[in-house]
Amino acid sequence: MGQEFKWNQALYDNIVERVEAVAKEPRGDKVFDITEACYARLVVETEEEYFTHPDGPYKGTKSALRQDEAYRGKKLVRQVQRVCCHTAAIQQAIDDAASSGGGMVRIPDGIYYTGAIELKSKVELHLEDKAVLRFIRNKTNAFYPVRLSRWEGVECMNFSPFIYAYGAHDIAITGRGTLDGAADEFNWMPWKFGFFDEENQQTQRERLFTFAKEKTAVEKRVFDDSLSTLRPPFIQLYSSRRIHIEDIHMVNSPFWEINPVLCEDVLIRRVHIETNLYNNDGIDPESSRNVLVEDCYFLTGDDCIAIKSGRNEDGRRIGVPSENIVIRRNRFANGHGGITIGSEISGGVKNVFAEENYFDSPDLDYPIRFKTNAQRGGRLENVYVRKSCVNKSRVAVVYADFFYEEGRNGSYLPHLRNIAVEDFKTVDGGSIDAKYAFYLKGFEDAPIENITFKDMVLEGVRGHAVLQNVRNVTFDNVMINGRMQKNRSFDVGNELDEKSI
């Protein structure tokens, strides 16, 4: 057998020790309660604009809605309600805490409507158990001002993320309360496909990608409320360090849920995410370093965790990989991808550790997926997965396809190497109902290299493995459908191999 690629325990321990220390960072002892008189006077009554469907909520699935032209062809009904807006109160408390050297901004039990808020250095935003921050549905810059953001891996000036930070350090979002983005099929989401006579985001999406391709200055890539259909992320922390997010419950996000960009030392622990709509990735570390995601719950409408590092020209311009990421003891309750690397991965990724995760989504296509092509490029290396269970995997347990979207149409060959999957098993008595056990397709001039599958038990695999342009793939104690595979290392060339492994 060839040389196996093995788990790097020393590097793993170093990452965990470094990131766990973030929770112990002092942020000041002062507490700034937003119900105090000095903040309560900043609360104003405002009109919240939102939309409903003339026939009421849709009773079918998301897939059925996409096929129901009669329902989605009807124009939405504009509604207005008066709410008390706490944006100014919350932001003033954050600013006061920051200017005093740090402290906790406390959100007591109750429902508080707000627009975008910006965290500052050494400030902890803390939600009490029954506190709800509900983000106002008006899609305007009055509530969501134009801010530097990254959208699908490209920098632009767009609607502010609901919770934002830029250049901050020692920031936290904690407590068992709820962050409610208030997005649904009729609010924010219609832009995804242009349903209900709303604008389709694709026009502005292509405009953004053209800006990046033509190397337009970022400050000129403006998407204000006169034209933007780019739904903002829920939490996006930009160029920040020592970040601590723990225990919060997140629901109804308009887009990606937690998106650290160009950040360092990020701890995300016991976060509960439920948003089963469109592009609702759970946690997207992007061009970030030293990240620990543990004991979280994901019920999402897209990938549960997606590691990214920028798209095409913009990703290469910034050129910062995601690296040193630990993902452990999480439950993936819904989502079509469990742990995904890509597709906005042009800056590369390295040193990803995943262990003791439970992949339980009924809609899961792949627990582990790599998404890139000759336009994305990127160097993807050193990915370790072990001690995990899977209950469903409709396509393949490990899926890497360089022919994703644009495929070979590009000049930036991706490199995928050093992947170890060990002690990965189907739930006892279960069947993953997978089309393939493994699906690995590289390019002839950019093969996938050094893949080790060890101590695996997979039940319910319907077809064979797909292997193309793979060098040094090793099978060591791998059992599929009760049949032990031959222990061996081998190469597969450009011919497509769909035979039994």
By C-alpha distance, which of 269, 336, 328 is closest to 299?
336
Burial class (CB in 10 A: 0-12, 13-18, 19+), 411: exposed
pLDDT of residue 161: 98
The predicted model gives 249-265 an average pLDDT of 98
Alpha-carbon distance of 501 to 479, in angstroms, equals 11
What is the three-class DSSP state of 283? strand
Read off φ and ψ for residue 210, nearest 5 degrees. -65, -40
Burial class (CB in 10 A: 0-12, 13-18, 19+), 425: middle
> What is the residue whose two structure tokens read 């997207």?
284
Q: What's the pLDDT tens digit per position in 305-338?
A: 999 999 999 999 999 999 999 999 999 999 999 9
**How many residues are there in the chain?**
501
Cis previous bond, 343, omega within 30: yes
Max Cα–Cα distance, the chain, nearest Å? 72
Alpha-carbon distance of 418 to 452, in angstroms, equals 8
Phi/psi-derived region of residue 290, left when phi > 0, alpha when psi is between -120 and 50, beta in every other case: left
For residue 317, what is the enclosing H or E element?
helix 312-318
238, 264 contact by CB (below 8 A): no
Q: What's the pLDDT tens digit per position in 267-290?
A: 999 999 999 999 999 999 999 999
Looking at residue 219, its amino acid is E
By C-alpha distance, which of 483, 490, 445, 487 is closest to 467?
490
As a whole number, the mean pLDDT across the chain is 95
Q: What's the pLDDT tens digit per position in 258-273?
A: 999 999 999 999 999 9
pLDDT of residue 6: 83
pLDDT higher than 80, residue 5: no
Query: For residues 179-196, b (16+ Cβ closer than 10 Å) or e, as one string?
Result: bbbbbbbbbbbbbbeebb
pLDDT of residue 496: 61
162, 235 contact by CB (below 8 A): yes
Paired tokens of 374:
């000759």
The percent of residues above 90 in pLDDT, for the chain, comes to: 92
The predicted model gives 213-242 an average pLDDT of 98
DSSP annotation of 54: T
- The lowest-confidence range among 57-71, 164-178, 226-240 is 57-71
Paired tokens of 151:
């959208």
pLDDT higher than 80, residue 500: no
DSSP symbols for 105-141 = EEE-SEEEEE--EE--TTEEEEE-TTEEEEE----ST
For residue 83, what is the enclosing H or E element?
strand 77-85
pLDDT of residue 68: 96
pLDDT of residue 113: 98
By C-alpha distance, which of 355, 485, 419 is closest to 5?
419
Number of neighbouring beta carbons within 10 Å of residue 248: 24
By C-alpha distance, which of 434, 436, 443 is closest to 492?
443
pLDDT higher than 70, residue 4: no
> What is the residue whose two structure tokens read 């530097």?
148
Alpha-carbon distance of 346 to 342, in angstroms, equals 8
What are the residues whose beta carbons fall under 8 Å from the beta carbon of 256, sequence distance 6 or more?
A: 233, 234, 236, 279, 280, 281, 284
Residues paired with residue 32 on neighbouring β-strands, in sequence order: 105
Alpha-carbon distance of 456 to 480, in angstroms, equals 8
